[in-house]
Structure formats: structure tokens, C-alpha cells
Structure 1
Amino acid sequence: MFSEKFSPRFSDTDALGHINNTLVPIWFEGARKPVFELFVPDLDPNKWNLILANIEVAFKAQMYFGFDMEVKTFISHIGNSSFKVYQELWQQEKCCATGTATMVHFDYQAQKPTVIPEQIKQMLTAHIR
């Protein structure tokens, strides 16, 4: 599991005083950075070999300014050329949102999916949930 803790900004709230729901997918993407680094350790865009194929987000509870957040990131499935990243957003010891992102190992030059190298599959497996 990867974990990232942060404090929401005042500007992250909506008119009702809740954390704006549009931020959750953004926070989830930011917390996928350690997964990206397994594929491209220096995060050089010229070496990038991943695409986002799908995201799903489910909201479980309201979130508020003034309380720290934690994103927990796991791998839930590994295929030949794709894998799923499962994430949870926690605040005040409560899971407030969950999400799944389907990522594809991709050859941009050939414009097609490519097999995930065995070494990377092993690193992903260390984070299976």
C-alpha cells in the first residue's frame, strides 16, 4: 500500500462547506505517483508508457476543511498489459470515498498496449489488496 497525507485547502470547499467532489479524482491521480514511478522512475514525459483507460469514484461520506486527509493506494488487479489501482480517501478515521483507475501499459510510438514487464508486475504485486 502507498499512503499520502495532506491538509485540504480552504478553497477546496464548496458553497455548502464540504470538500468539492471534483477534487477527489484529482487527489487520487496525485496519489498514484508512486505507481507511476514503478514504470517511469524519473517521471520523464518522454519515457511515459501509461494511459488511463477508466476511472470510477464512489462517495461514502462528507468531507470537510480543517481535517487532514489520507489517500491509501493499492493494486487490485494485474493483467497482461493493464492493471487496476484501488484507492480510498480517509478523513477522521472514516473512508469518505473510494476509486478505481484502470491503467494500461502503452507503447505511444506503436499506439497499442504492451505487456507489463515481469519485474514491474512483481513490484505491483507487493501492493495487491
Structure 2
Amino acid sequence: MFTEVIQPRFSETDALGHINNTVVAVWFEACRTPIFKIFTPELDLQRWPLIVASIAVDFKAQLHYGSEVEVRSWISRIGNSSFEVTQQAWQQGQCCAEGKAALVHFDYQLQKAKALSPALKAALEAHALQPS
């Protein structure tokens, strides 16, 4: 599991004083960077091998400005050419949002999915943890 702490910015609040719901998906994407580095350690966009097939976020509680947020990320499913990342946003000891992203290992030249190698699967499996 990967964890990253985010300090919400004032500009990320909405008219009601909560963190805007669109911000959580952006935070989750940013916190997938360690997973991206499994595939492209230097994050070279010319050699980028992933596409997003789907994302979903469920909101469980309000997030607020002025208190840090811990984002937890782990691999929740590994397929032949795709995998799923589950992520949670925790603030003040409470899980406030949970999301899932399905990512596909993709060959842009051939415009089709590419099988995950045994080495990539092993690297993903090393982060296939469920938090308690």
C-alpha cells in the first residue's frame, strides 16, 4: 500500500466550505504516481504504457480545508492486461472517500491492450494490500 499526505488548498473548497467533489479524483490520480513509476520509472510521457478505463469515487463524509488528508492506495485486482487501484481519502481518522480506477497496460502503436508481464504482475502484487 502507498500513502501520501495532502494539505488541502483553500482554492479546492466549494461554496459550502467543503472540498469540492471534483478535487478528490485529482488527488487520487496524483497519488497513483508510485504505481505509474512501476511501469515508467522516469514518468516519460513518450513511453507511457497505461490508459484509464474507468474511475469511480464514493463519498462517505465531508472533507474540509485546514486539516491534512491521507490518501491510501493499493492494488485490488490484477488481470491479464489490466489492474484496479483502490484508494481512500482519510481526514481526522475517518474514511471520507473511496475510489477505484481501472488501468489498462496499453500499446499505443497497435492501439490495443498489452499483457502484463510476470515482472509487472509481481511488482503490482507487492502492493496488493487491503488496509485493516
TM range (shorter): over 0.9
Q: Deviations over 1:33-59 (max 9, x none)?
A: 000000001000111000000001000
Length-normalised TM-score, structure 2: 0.96
What's the offset of the Cα at 1:117?
A: 1.2
Report how many residues are paired: 129
- The match for 1:121 is 121
Q: Which runs of 4+ in 1 moved over 3 A?
A: none
CA RMSD in angstroms comes to 0.5
- The match for 1:33 is 33
What's the offset of the Cα at 1:86?
A: 0.3
What's the offset of the Cα at 1:120?
A: 1.1
Gaps spanning 5+ residues in structure 1: where? Answer: none
- The match for 1:71 is 71
Q: Deviations over 1:8-33 (max 9, x none)?
A: 01111111111111100000000000
Gaps spanning 5+ residues in structure 2: where? Answer: none
What's the offset of the Cα at 1:6?
A: 1.6
- Give the 5 Å matches for 1:10-89: 10-89=10-89
SS where residue 52 of structure 1 aligns? strand
- Give the 5 Å matches for 1:95-114: 95-114=95-114
Length-normalised TM-score, structure 1: 0.98
SS where residue 104 of structure 2 aligns? strand
Q: Among the aligned pairs, what percent are the same residue?
A: 55
Which residue identity lines up with residue 20 of structure 1 in the other structure? N
